[in-house]
Structure 1
């Protein structure tokens, strides 16, 4: 059971971070329509998160071109998500 939760934790956090970026920019990834902003995604980086079940590697949005993206779910330079993982899993 613990391994199953660990296997879904990574993709779950990645999807939540991607959603934060979509909300920040006002459009979804790969949206080909005209945008209201010149700000764009700036790729992804790797981050190892510490959960109550062990470490999980995730791809995190590196940010946006103008540097205004500040993730709320997993703030920059924070790696321990054990306090929020139960809330996220219950959603």
Structure 2
């Protein structure tokens, strides 16, 4: 399998995710598709990103999430040099929460 995320399998999977209509549907789907640990790891990275965006230090983030400094560093690199997807999602969530 390729080392890139941009494969046909991944595209089809993400298209399937986009058909889900509620948090409950997402929970059910990811419970079927992933292990508990896999979902927790993804959610932990999202929490790390949110805390870093809020200006928390690595130590504070590690304490609050239990994430390793390697994970925190990887997420921080994505925040600073990635595709700006975290920023896009955070902005959309903020708009949704205002409504």
Q: TM-score, normalised by structure 1?
A: 0.26
Q: TM-score, normalised by structure 2?
A: 0.24
Larger Rg: 2
Using CA pairs under 8 Å that are at least 6 residues apart, name the structure with larger relative contact order, 1 or 2: 1
More strand by proportion, 1 or 2? 1
